């Protein structure tokens, strides 16, 4: 499971880097903004999933018995 969390974090970091490196915002403002938002959310999600007890929280949210 940890591998998938690292993949989520690295994908988020890659999206953040792509969003921050694009200085020509007028041409692709929507793509840059969305990549920054999605990248930030993916990094946050990956870090939250590494916290102890996150599996029990996900079980309760998804109602898995």
Domain limits at 1?
A: 1-20+31-63
4 part of a folded domain: yes
Structure tokens at 40: 């930030």
Q: Please report the pLDDT score of residue 27 as a whole number.
A: 58
40 part of a folded domain: yes
9 part of a folded domain: yes
59 part of a folded domain: yes
| Number of domains within the chain | 1
Q: Please report the pLDDT score of residue 58 as a whole number.
A: 78
48 part of a folded domain: yes
Question: Does the pLDDT value for residue 14 go beyond 80?
Answer: yes
2 part of a folded domain: yes
Question: Does the pLDDT value for residue 1 go beyond 80?
Answer: no
57 part of a folded domain: yes
26 part of a folded domain: no
CA angle 37, 38, 43 (to 5 degrees): 100
Question: Does the pLDDT value for residue 64 go beyond 70?
Answer: yes
pLDDT in tens, 18-62: 777 766 666 567 777 777 788 888 888 888 888 888 888 878 878
């Amino acid at each position: 499971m940890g591998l998938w969390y690292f993949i989520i974090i690295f994908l988020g970091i890659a999206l953040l880097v792509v969003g921050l490196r694009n200085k020509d915002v007028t041409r692709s403002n929507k793509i840059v903004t969305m990549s920054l938002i999605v990248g930030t959310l993916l990094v946050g999600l990956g870090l939250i999933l590494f916290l102890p007890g996150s599996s029990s929280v996900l079980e309760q949210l998804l109602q898995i018995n």
